Amino acid sequence: MAADERSSVTEEFEALVVPVLDSAYRTALRLAGNQAAAEDLVQDAALLALRGFGSFRKGTNFKAWFFRILMNRFYSDYRRARRAGTPVDLEDTPELYLRSRAEAAGIIGPDDPADAVIDRIDTELAVAALDALPDEFRTAATLYFTQDFSYQEIADVLGVPIGTVRSRLHRARRLLQRTLWQVAEERGVVTGPEVGS
């Protein structure tokens, strides 16, 4: 490829990648766990994507294509360095877990909105609960929470069937509710009686 052509390709690539860098950083930070690693991950992904730009089909979803490269890079080089979160009980969790625990703890009455629970959840608590999820659930949930991706786009990014994404996200959300409550109890944010789960 001639130098002029390479410059032109780089410009075309930049026009596509720059608008998604901020959102890529948000996902990278939640995946990698710290700012320096997240910045490196985004930059590494951008350089890899530039190198592989010839395989991108114009008119298709650039963001999903780029995020797939970012996820692959995370799996290959960053996942091992990530800090471990609170161990999570993998026993399946019923729907409405948080609501039933909050009701049992007297935080909300049966007719109250979610505000009383939400007010007790800060960013640190939410991220701690996300971090505690096992990898396969955490990666899907991170893409789900940090991006406005559909199930199909998450499936494309992770390279798994859409049914797998759906079941992982449904279970991740239930596990997240259990972990939120567990972490909140550990931190003294909530206290309450045990209820059947």
Residues that bind other proteins (CB under 8 A): 1, 6-7, 9-10, 13-14, 17-18, 21-22, 25-26, 29-30, 35, 39, 42-43, 46-47, 50-51, 53-54, 95-96, 98-99, 110-111, 113-115, 117-118, 121-123, 125-127, 130, 142, 144-146, 150-151, 166, 169-170, 173, 176-177, 180
CA distances from 48 to 20, 44, 68, 136 (A): 15, 6, 11, 23
Q: How far apart are CA 41 and CA 173, in angstroms?
A: 26
Q: Which residue is associated with the tokens 């991706």?
A: 149
Provide, rounded to whole angstroms, the least separation between the CB of residue 172 and other proteins.
10
Provide, rounded to whole angstroms, the least separation between the CB of residue 16 and other proteins.
11
* Nearest residue to 195 via CA among 174, 183, 184, 181: 181
- Nearer to other proteins among residue 29 and residue 158 (C-beta): 29
Residues 6 or more apart whose CB falls under 8 angstroms from that of 90 comprise 134, 175
- Nearer to other proteins among residue 115 and residue 194 (C-beta): 115
- Nearer to other proteins among residue 71 and residue 147 (C-beta): 147
CA–chain centroid gap for 142, Å, is 0
Provide, rounded to whole angstroms, the least separation between the CB of residue 40 and other proteins.
10
Provide, rounded to whole angstroms, the least separation between the CB of residue 64 and other proteins.
16
Paired tokens of 25:
């950083």
User: With contact defined as beta carbons under 8 Å apart, do 165 and 147 qualify?
Assistant: no
Provide, rounded to whole angstroms, the least separation between the CB of residue 57 and other proteins.
13
